[in-house]
Amino acid sequence: MDSELKEEIPVHEEFILCGGAETQVLKCGPWTDLFHDQSVKRPKLLIFIIPGERKSLDSNAQEIKDIYGLNGQIEHKLAFLRTHVPKDMKLVLIGHSIGSYFTLQMLKRVPELPVIRAFLLFPTIERMSESPNGRIATPLLCWFRYVLYVTGYLLLKPCPETIKSLLIRRGLQVMNLENEFSPLNILEPFCLANAAYLGGQEMMEVVKRDDETIKEHLCKLTFYYGTIDPWCPKEYYEDIKKDFPEGDIRLCEKNIPHAFITHFNQEMADMIADSLKDDLSKM
């Protein structure tokens, strides 16, 4: 990236109620309220990142049915846009892993969203249970899910918060990751249960690639596949490339893993920034 883009960008964390669920939001930039901020500092474009990790907070999830399921998570993202982002604000969607599936479904359900570009990174949008990792995850998440629930509850519920915090900090140190915001709740039994529940639905329901939606929005889609990705192997890239030869469908040449955030976040950020230059120049 250009040196002038490497300035310090303010990042702050908020917890909001969205669709009945307490939702963690990380905001990057000198703004807090897009609806009521009419100053010149209000951005013309919002980059909306839909991560692949499945971390949920405790809630009274009544407003969106089955909010921790696959459909509920899609509606949750759309609810956030409806309630926190002006309708006329241009959007860049960045979906990683199952977030790519959410992104396609959002475009399908609300095709009038003012999206100028959508990045689907290491996209798990088809045949998840047939992938190398899916063959392992499917029996665990679909057949032995309740065993995981009970084991997680028995091991983690009585565990003191100080021990959980120590384990997380140690894990982040081993992975050489910064811990700017506390991820302590990832070791809460209800978080693990919600993640397993959603993961089981992914294995069962993310089967057929949605070629109709891809075709309709192809001009604004960028796919980025990995060469060593056990969730969406190289053959998935070859299949979609053959079916949509005119699309912006890329294969990673740097052996970046599916979980790129651990060590390759800067490389991915640079790729996205370079890809957005043409789109941004037209605004």
Q: E strands along 101-242, which residues? A: 115-121, 221-225
Q: Which of 76, 96, 100, 229 is catalytic?
A: 229
C-alpha R_g of the chain: 19
* Count of C-beta atoms within a 10 Å radius of residue 212: 9
Per-residue pLDDT tens listing for the chain (283 residues): 444 445 577 888 888 888 888 888 888 887 777 777 666 567 888 999 998 755 444 444 457 889 999 999 999 999 999 999 999 899 999 999 999 999 999 999 999 999 999 999 999 999 999 999 999 999 989 887 777 777 777 776 777 777 766 766 666 555 455 555 455 566 677 777 888 899 999 999 999 999 999 999 999 999 999 999 999 999 999 999 999 999 999 999 999 999 898 788 899 999 999 999 988 888 7
* Count of C-beta atoms within a 10 Å radius of residue 199: 22
Q: Which of 59, 97, 129, 131 is catalytic?
A: 97
Residue limits of CATH 3.40.50.1820 in the chain: 11-127+208-270
The answer to whether residue 59 is catalytic is no
Q: May I ask the CATH architecture of the domain 11-127+208-270?
A: 3-Layer(aba) Sandwich (3.40)
3-class secondary structure, 156: helix
* pTM given for the model: 0.85
The answer to whether residue 258 is catalytic is yes
The answer to whether residue 229 is catalytic is yes
Predicted pLDDT at 183? 56
3-class secondary structure, 178: coil
Residues comprising the chain, all counted: 283
Alpha carbons within 13 angstroms on the beta-carbon side of residue 4 total 0
